[in-house]
Amino acid sequence: MNIEVTRINSGINDDPLGFVQAANEEYHYQLRRIADKIINTRNEKPVILLSGPSGSGKTTTAFMIEKILDEAGYETHTISMDNYFRPLSREEKELAALGKMDLESPERIDSELLNSQIESIGRGERIEIPKYDFAESTRCHSGLFLERKPGELIIFEGIHALNPSLITVPDCWLVKLYVSVRTRVTCGDTVLHPSKVRLARRMIRDSNFRKRSLRETMNMFKNVEAGENKYIMPYKHRADFDIDTFMAYELNAYRSSLIDKLGELNDFPELDDLTEVLENLAPLNADNIPNNSLICEFLGRGRFEY
């Protein structure tokens, strides 16, 4: 799907609140349709796997689906697969600090523990969900126990959730979802690839929550993109449902934060298309964006978090 900058600006200038609301409702409609399908197969498929590349909005989408299912009367729990990372040894930490360790690899996940717990959840057995301490690169006890009752659903979200070498439980237990930006933004002859929208999200998030400059995000971008092409994209065809997380107003919301800083990155010509699109978009005040919007995962002040 493509959307033109002129169409976006028309909506923002004429009725910003209405334009934002319509985009949010369109997204929620996607999720409600999928939730209906999940409900229909809940007894034989109690586990939902949700995958997508960096900046795709996995976490918020998972929580939105959980909320829809909860409100329909089907108790649902969301678990981040990040909690199943293997602890790093001292030597591995040193390699990671030097950029000599593949942090995107599915081998970072403790597949044995993850599959064991998915099987236990499917059988309704009590488990303790692990917790990963990113500051120390180690896994610890969370004290959070889960025992799935009949009819309840569990969502596991993570970049490797559709990798069949990592998730080995039978497909007959699973509903598989893939989320990403699929819409292209056009500005004259310039067509902005969906990956650039995800990059803009990463820039905003890294700046807001990780204290990284845009240059630091760009320095990491090629490795992240290579990891996506190697470990995530090859398995998106396995999804039962494909979700486009693009919000028609989001680049307008990012414009003010990014436009001046992008001007300092002239040595990254791959950003020319993003810069051109942002320059031609009307700015959108964040006050027009409700806290249940998917893009609040990147802007902050969102309703959904672990």
Do residues 110 and 100 lie in contact, with contact meaning Cβ atoms separated by under 8 Å?
Answer: no
- Tell me the mean pLDDT in the region 87-94: 84
Do residues 118 and 169 lie in contact, with contact meaning Cβ atoms separated by under 8 Å?
Answer: yes
Residue 241 CA to chain centroid, in angstroms? 15
Please report which confidence band the pLDDT of residue 187 belongs to, taking 50, 70 and 90 as the band edges.
very high
Please report which confidence band the pLDDT of residue 305 belongs to, taking 50, 70 and 90 as the band edges.
low
- Tell me the mean pLDDT in the region 149-162: 95
pLDDT of amino acid 89: 85
- Tell me the mean pLDDT in the region 197-208: 93
In the chain, the percentage of residues whose pLDDT exceeds 90 is: 78
For residue 306, pLDDT beyond 60: no
Residue 106 CA to chain centroid, in angstroms? 16
- DSSP output for 98-124: TT-S-TT-GGGB-HHHHHHHHHHHHTT
Q: What is the pLDDT of residues 61-71, one digit of tens each?
A: 999 999 999 99
Residue with tokens 């609040």: 296
For residue 236, pLDDT beyond 60: yes
For residue 96, pLDDT beyond 80: no
Sheet strand arrangement including 76-80: 76-80, 153-157, 47-51, 174-180, 241-244
pLDDT of amino acid 294: 95
Q: What is the pLDDT of residues 256-280, one digit of tens each?
A: 999 989 988 989 999 999 999 999 9
Alpha helices in 165-266 (DSSP H): 194-209, 214-231, 250-262
What's the rounded Cα separation, in Å, for the pair 181 and 1? Answer: 10
What's the rounded Cα separation, in Å, for the pair 152 and 130? Answer: 20
In the chain, the percentage of residues whose pLDDT exceeds 70 is: 98
Residue 11 CA to chain centroid, in angstroms? 26
- Give backbone dihedrals phi and psi of 137, rounded to 5 degrees, phi first: 55, 45
pTM for the predicted model, two decimal places: 0.92
- Tell me the mean pLDDT in the region 208-221: 87
Q: What is the pLDDT of residues 7-58, one digit of tens each?
A: 999 999 999 999 999 999 999 999 999 999 999 999 999 999 999 999 999 9
- Tell me the mean pLDDT in the region 124-137: 90
Please report which confidence band the pLDDT of residue 303 belongs to, taking 50, 70 and 90 as the band edges.
low
Please report which confidence band the pLDDT of residue 304 belongs to, taking 50, 70 and 90 as the band edges.
low
Q: What is the pLDDT of residues 279-293, one digit of tens each?
A: 999 999 989 999 999
What's the rounded Cα separation, in Å, for the pair 106 and 215? Answer: 26
Six-digit token string for 235: 């398995």
Please report which confidence band the pLDDT of residue 302 belongs to, taking 50, 70 and 90 as the band edges.
low
Residue with tokens 């600006």: 9
Which one is predicted more confidently, 212 or 166? 166
Q: Which residues, listed in sequence order, are joined to residue 185 by a DSSP beta bridge?
A: 3, 192
For residue 137, pLDDT beyond 90: no
What's the rounded Cα separation, in Å, for the pair 56 and 178? Answer: 9
Q: Which residues, listed in sequence order, are joined to residue 156 by a DSSP beta bridge?
A: 49, 79
For residue 103, pLDDT beyond 90: no
pLDDT of amino acid 211: 82
Do residues 247 and 294 lie in contact, with contact meaning Cβ atoms separated by under 8 Å?
Answer: yes
